[in-house]
């Protein structure tokens, strides 16, 4: 095993790692997405499928999974209105209303009983202003694996917030998506790679597979 692979394996030790899925919900990445271009990018690029693979592998390796969901009350109370993005989202035909199908975790991702789901009513980040940091610290998290959407806004917010809070961040580049499609690799290369360990879904899966205890008959 090379030095870089050994370092990644150490970073991804199951007892200190949490897998974060960002806005992988039906109303964002599902067939009836409020943002059809983003939803299509997540599905057609294979990013959503790779998130599902990572979640399944995390369950097997006993890595904690945390799903971050963005939603809003039907009356909009507490929601931001201080940016064009928020105002545009409030007019979309599909709304991320609390309790609606739009805020369910999207297939093919499977949510296990031990997974945590954190829902936010405001802001751009799945970490800032939410319970995520406190939960990660209580879980003994040292490394946060960030997946999901979008590479334009929420994913880089999550990465920067996690780094600022002292976590090591790992980004499987093929498990995030944004629009246009060619923006994602450019953003990963020129921005996220400066602060996070960029890897692939298969490399993460290999690390977790190697970390699983060998069963003895």
Tell me the per-residue pLDDT of 163-202, one tens digit each, with 9 for 90 and over.
Answer: 999 999 999 999 999 999 999 999 999 999 999 999 999 9
Give the chain's mean pLDDT.
94
Q: Please say if the pLDDT value at position 27 is more than 80.
A: yes
Mean pLDDT for 1-25 is 91
The structure tokens 């009836």 sit at 32
pLDDT in tens, 144-160: 999 999 999 999 999 99
Alpha helices by DSSP H, 72-165: 84-89, 132-138, 154-164
- Name the percent of the chain lying above pLDDT 90: 86
Mean pLDDT for 102-131 is 97
What is the distance between the alpha carbons of residues 193 and 170, in angstroms, rounded to a whole number? 10
Q: What is the pLDDT of residue 88?
A: 87
Q: How many helices (H) and strands (E) does the chain have?
A: 9, 7
Q: Please say if the pLDDT value at position 16 is more than 90.
A: yes
Alpha helices by DSSP H, the chain: 3-11, 26-29, 36-44, 47-61, 84-89, 132-138, 154-164, 183-190, 201-211
Do 51 and 23 touch, CB atoms closer than 8 A?
Answer: no
Lowest mean pLDDT among 15-24, 57-66, 76-85, 156-165: 76-85
What is the distance between the alpha carbons of residues 79 and 101, in angstroms, rounded to a whole number? 19
Mean pLDDT for 101-121 is 97
Q: What is the pLDDT of residue 93?
A: 84
Structure confidence at residue 86 as a pLDDT band (50, 70, 90)? confident
Structure confidence at residue 4 as a pLDDT band (50, 70, 90)? confident
Structure confidence at residue 5 as a pLDDT band (50, 70, 90)? confident
What is the distance between the alpha carbons of residues 75 and 98, in angstroms, rounded to a whole number? 11
Mean pLDDT for 62-90 is 93
Which distant-in-sequence residues (6+ apart) come within 8 Å of 113 by Cβ? none
Q: The pTM is what? A: 0.94
Using alpha carbons only, give the angle 117, 197, 145 rounded to the nearest 5 degrees.
Answer: 10
Structure confidence at residue 214 as a pLDDT band (50, 70, 90)? low
Q: What are the tokens at 109?
A: 């991702």
Exposed e or buried b per residue across 191-214, where buried means at least 16 C-beta atoms within 10 angstroms of its C-beta: ebeeebbbbebebbbbbbeebeee
- The bridge status of strand 143-149 relative to strand 197-199 is unpaired
Q: What is the pLDDT of residue 182?
A: 95
Do 146 and 169 touch, CB atoms closer than 8 A?
Answer: yes
Using alpha carbons only, give the angle 61, 169, 97 rounded to the nearest 5 degrees.
Answer: 85
């Amino acid at each position: 095993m090379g030095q870089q692979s050994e370092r990644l394996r150490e970073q991804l030790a199951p007892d200190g790692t949490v897998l974060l899925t960002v806005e992988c919900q039906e109303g964002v990445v599902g067939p009836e997405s409020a943002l059809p271009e983003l939803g299509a990018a997540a599905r057609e690029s294979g990013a959503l499928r790779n998130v599902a693979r990572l979640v399944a592998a995390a369950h097997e390796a006993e890595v904690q999974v945390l799903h971050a969901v963005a939603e809003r009350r039907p009356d909009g109370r507490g929601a931001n209105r201080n940016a064009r993005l928020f105002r545009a989202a409030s007019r979309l035909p599909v709304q991320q209303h609390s309790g609606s199908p739009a805020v369910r975790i999207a297939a093919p991702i499977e949510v296990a009983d031990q997974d945590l789901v954190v829902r936010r009513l405001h802001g751009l980040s799945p970490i800032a202003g939410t319970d995520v940091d406190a939960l990660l610290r209580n879980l003994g998290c040292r490394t946060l694996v960030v997946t999901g959407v979008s590479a334009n806004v929420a994913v880089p917010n999550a990465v920067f917030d996690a780094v600022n809070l002292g976590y090591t961040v790992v980004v499987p580049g093929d498990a995030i998506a944004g629009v246009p499609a060619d923006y994602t690799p450019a953003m990963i290369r020129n921005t996220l790679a400066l602060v996070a360990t960029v890897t692939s879904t298969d490399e993460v899966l290999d690390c977790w597979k190697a970390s699983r205890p060998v069963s003895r008959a």
